[in-house]
Amino acid sequence: MADIKSPANPLFLREDELRQGIEMLFFAYRDFTAKADQTLAQFGFGRAHHRVIYFVGRNPGMTVSELLGILHITKQSLSRVLGQLVRQGFITQKPGSTDRRQRLLSLTEKGSELERKLTEEQRALIARAYRSAGADAVDGFRKVLLGMIEEGDRRRFRPSLPR
């Protein structure tokens, strides 16, 4: 009885379930980035700078090509923000030892400091969500996200060695 709106229509439910997923992703991402954006603005930086700082921090000594492969933007776009970060002393470049064409990227102490500050905010937000959702939910969260990620990038998150 009751339940006028969904009378044995699994298709409708499924459709709505997916739409909710789309929306939640939008809202979560919106709020996920909001705080760090404020902090960045204080430094005259934007979200693009954050991404560069974050990934260089995670992969010290990475090449420009590798970074481009992660960000999926053009080298001209990257060049703008990376140049600023290098000139202002947040990131250093040094030639690769085997291939001297490469410019291996690392954070300076100043860069690390900013990275920590920025990521801490996001970590806190995620930590809160993880804690209130519980360990099983976190497993599910990761499983679903993994399935949304382009095949080639999934290996980054599997228990094997990341590089």
Partner DNA sequence: ACAAATAAGTCAACATGGCTGACATAAAAT
Partner DNA sequence: ATTTTATGTCAGCCATGTTGACTTATTTGT
Side chain identity, residue 2: A
Burial of 107 from C-beta contacts in 10 A (0-12 / 13-18 / 19+): buried
Is residue 5 part of the contact set for DNA (CB under 7 A)? Answer: no
73 lies in the binding site for DNA (CB under 7 A): yes
Exactly one of 13, 26, 75, 94 binds a second copy (CB under 8 A); which one? 26
Torsion of CA 146, 62, 65, 49, to 10 degrees: 80
What's the Rg (C-alpha) of the chain? 20
Reduced to 3 states, what is the DSSP secondary structure of residue 106? strand
| Interface pick for DNA out of 4, 42, 101, 132 (rule CB under 7 A) | 101
The pattern of x and - marking residues 35 through 54 that bind DNA according to CB under 7 A reads ---------xxxxxx-x---
Contacting a second copy (CB under 8 A), which of 6, 9, 12, 19?
A: 19
How many residues form the binding site for DNA (CB under 7 A)? Answer: 30
* Binding status of residue 75 toward DNA by CB under 7 A: yes
For 49, counting Cβ atoms within 10 Å of its Cβ (0-12 exposed, 13-18 middle, 19+ buried), the class is buried
Q: Does 140 bind a second copy (CB under 8 A)?
A: yes
Pick one of 1, 5, 10, 100: the residue that binds DNA (CB under 7 A).
100
Task: Pick the closer one to a second copy by CB: 96 or 157.
Answer: 157
Burial tier of 56 (Cβ tally within 10 Å: 0-12, 13-18, 19+) = buried
Q: Which residues bind a second copy (CB under 8 A)?
A: 14-15, 17-32, 34, 51, 54, 58, 72, 119, 122-123, 125-130, 132-134, 136-150, 153, 156-157
